[in-house]
Amino acid sequence: MSEFHLSNMSDFLGPPLLIDAYVSAVEKENQSYLEALKFVEKNSGDIQIENDRLLFSAPQQFEKYSELIKAAKNAKDASYEAQIKLTEYATDEDVKKSDLQKADISDAYFEVRTAFENSSAYKVLRTLYDNDKEKLEQFYRRYAETYVKSGLDQAEQEVTNEMSSLVETKLDESLPKASNTALYSFTQSILGLTDQMFEKRPGLCPSYFNGAVDGKEFSTFFVNELDGAAREKYLSSIIEIVLSAKNNPGSYTLSPEEIEQKLEAPYLRAFAAVGDKASYLVDGSAPQSPGDVCITIRAIYGEVVQLPSPDREDILRHMYSSE
């Protein structure tokens, strides 16, 4: 898409209902022509072609075909009208001069819309908001405005930043009630994220694990530095946590006393593995370096995920509830 098209979109981030109407009209148009084609194929043995016209042997077949073609033409007219209504929101007089340029504006709009709906953040937001269209559209408009003004990367960072604060609240509610499978998958994704955070941006480790991370800084890491596979795994695991807590909740099999007892061994093994780097957890001092937090947390959770199930999930559920 050329810069010309996007530069004329600042007043064309238009009503989502018009977009939905246009998409629906195009789908109906395609479906109508497809039904007519299927009817011809089904009755091909009773059809002759003369001077590029279809001749049906039975009058009722011709009547049915005529109805299908009429419906298809009406659907085509409706999709054209929907497109015109959509493109009327372009205010630049030069842009309004031709239908071709109007079509280009529609294409530009769909470029933004498609980018948003394909973004990882959108998939999580859709789950967090339980497909609430009004709230999703609020996010979409902010995303689209940033996309037009500053480009895709900045739009992704902005939505990721807003998503992060929502995720934190929703995870606090969902983690204690999530299924065993979801808890395990989420923890594995956290281990992958922690490894890359330590490697690429260790300064984030203390604030991230204390729940006080700067949203913009985390978004920059998450969008631009975190490996794509790790990012998708993390976001997918969040969706799994939220949905399982709602639809297939898990529960404890151990008592609090049993959990505390079983947690001692993983902690001791983790502390032995990282040495002085874990001293801040013991004496309450500040970490010797920001990266020590990632190393220590990674060691603790890495030990816990190796425990047998369901002890592993009970301990994880307890740890997430206590944070």
Give, for all 323 residues of the chain, the pLDDT tens digit. 223 233 333 444 444 556 666 667 777 877 887 887 787 778 777 766 666 666 667 777 778 878 888 888 888 888 778 777 666 644 444 444 444 444 444 555 667 777 777 777 777 888 877 767 777 777 777 777 777 777 778 887 777 777 776 777 788 889 999 999 999 999 999 999 999 999 999 999 988 888 777 777 887 888 889 988 898 898 889 889 988 998 889 999 999 999 999 999 999 999 999 998 988 888 878 888 999 999 999 999 999 999 999 999 999 999 988 65
Mark whether 185 and 262 lie in a shared domain.
Answer: yes
CA–CA distance, 275 with 186 (Å, rounded to integer): 26
- Asked if 291 and 205 touch (Cβ cutoff 8 Å), the reply is yes
Selection from 230, 114, 207 nearest residue 238 by Cα: 230
CA–CA distance, 173 with 189 (Å, rounded to integer): 19
Does residue 200 sit within a domain?
yes
CA–CA distance, 229 with 1 (Å, rounded to integer): 27
How do 53-56 and 47-50 pair as beta strands?
Answer: antiparallel
Mark whether 159 and 106 lie in a shared domain.
Answer: no
Mark whether 99 and 179 lie in a shared domain.
Answer: no
CA–CA distance, 297 with 234 (Å, rounded to integer): 17
Mark whether 92 and 198 lie in a shared domain.
Answer: no
Torsion of CA 135, 141, 143, 147, to 10 degrees: 170
- Asked if 241 and 175 touch (Cβ cutoff 8 Å), the reply is yes
**99, 114, 129: which is the final residue of a domain?**
114
Quote the domain boundaries for residue 51.
Answer: 3-114
- Model-level pTM? 0.63
Amino acid at 101: Q
Which tokens sit at 28? 């109906």
Query: Considering its fold, how many domains does the chain have in total?
Result: 2
